[in-house]
């Protein structure tokens, strides 16, 4: 396929090259591991400098869409879920934004005493019972994250909630709660036997743990959430800007 960029466009060439690359990597051949054209040939074809092309490639590498190996070449990264620290979304929203279908493999809902950290977040006593939602989720045929959520006892949710709908839609439509802020922690740990069995990995394999402290528009604590992700299925991007 012949690609052409427009040097007279108001859109910078590196942005045009990035858009072209996004289109290119949707091709099934590249999804299956075919190497992208090398930078020398592709920059000549597009009539741009290698630095301009590299700027576009670097953006997609940063987003986790491409993998570049020195001495080998550039390939499309295996399809995984990406999350951006600047614009947080629910799991369903993240999946939808990347064109992935969501499948629930397990769903458990109960009232129980929460961990100490959750109690402190909600400012309740250690013996307070909270609604707990546990879900094993992923894309069709591949469970890759186990979520455990505790909810503020002030929210009158029950074990009869229909959790097949997106969680934050339920909070908005049924309880008038609009979540706004998510304070997050991400770290790595080894999978224990129970988590390894749920995620289809080996005991001791790495998992990424993502804690969320979710607040509404009025800064009321809403949800304390811990997600355990297969390390090969989740990319967390962080962008910093110097003023």
Please report, for residues 9, 17, 213, the alpha-carbon distance to residue 48 in angstroms, rounded to integers and kept in the order given: 14, 9, 45
Residue 94 burial class via C-beta count within 10 angstroms: exposed 0-12, middle 13-18, buried 19 and up: middle
Q: Residue 28 has what pLDDT?
A: 78
Residues in the chain: 243
Residue 97: count other Cβ atoms within 10 Å of its Cβ: 14
**H-run or E-run covering 222:** strand 221-230
pLDDT of 158 over the 80 cut? yes
Q: Which residue has the tokens 């550039």?
A: 74
Which two structure tokens, joined as six digits, stand for 129?
């019972």
Which residues have C-beta within 8 Å of that of residue 9, sequence separation ≥ 6? 16
- Strands 234-237, 81-84: parallel, antiparallel or unpaired by DSSP? parallel
Mean pLDDT of the region 129-142: 91
Q: Which is more confidently placed, 38 or 158?
A: 158
Q: Out of 8-12, 90-94, 162-166, which region has the weakest mean confidence (pLDDT)?
A: 90-94
Q: What SS3 state is found at 216?
A: strand
DSSP states along 100-141:
---EEEEEEEEEEEPPHHHHHHHT--TT-EEEEEEEEEEETT
What tens digit of pLDDT does each residue of 188-232 get? Answer: 999 999 999 999 999 999 999 999 999 999 999 999 999 999 988
Output 108 or 35, whichever has higher pLDDT: 108
Mean per-residue pLDDT over the chain, rounded: 86
HSE-CB for 193 with a 13 A CA cutoff: 0
Contact 131, 159 (CB under 8 A): yes
């Amino acid at each position: 396929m012949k690609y052409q960029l427009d040097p007279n466009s108001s859109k910078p060439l590196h942005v045009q090259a990035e858009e072209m690359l996004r289109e290119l990597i949707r091709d099934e051949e590249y999804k299956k591991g075919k190497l992208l054209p090398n930078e020398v040939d592709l920059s000549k074809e597009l009539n741009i400098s290698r630095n301009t092309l590299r700027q576009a490639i670097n953006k997609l590498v940063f987003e986790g869409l491409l993998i570049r190996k020195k001495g080998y070449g550039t390939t499309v990264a295996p399809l995984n879920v990406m999350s951006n620290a600047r614009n947080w979304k629910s799991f369903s929203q993240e999946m939808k934004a990347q064109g992935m279908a969501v499948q629930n493999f397990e769903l458990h809902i109960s009232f129980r005493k929460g961990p100490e950290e959750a109690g402190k977040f909600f400012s309740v006593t250690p013996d307070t019972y909270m609604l707990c939602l546990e879900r094993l989720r992923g894309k069709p045929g591949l469970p890759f994250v186990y979520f455990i959520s505790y909810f503020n006892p002030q929210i009158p949710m029950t074990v009869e909630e229909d959790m097949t709908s997106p969680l934050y839609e339920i909070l908005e439509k049924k309880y008038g709660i609009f979540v706004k802020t998510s304070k997050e922690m991400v770290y790595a740990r080894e999978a224990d036997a129970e988590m390894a069995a749920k995620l289809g990995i080996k005991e001791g394999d790495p998992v990424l743990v993502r804690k969320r402290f979710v607040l509404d528009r009025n800064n009321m604590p809403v949800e304390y959430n811990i997600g355990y992700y297969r390390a090969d299925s989740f990319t967390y991007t962080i962008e910093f800007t110097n003023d």
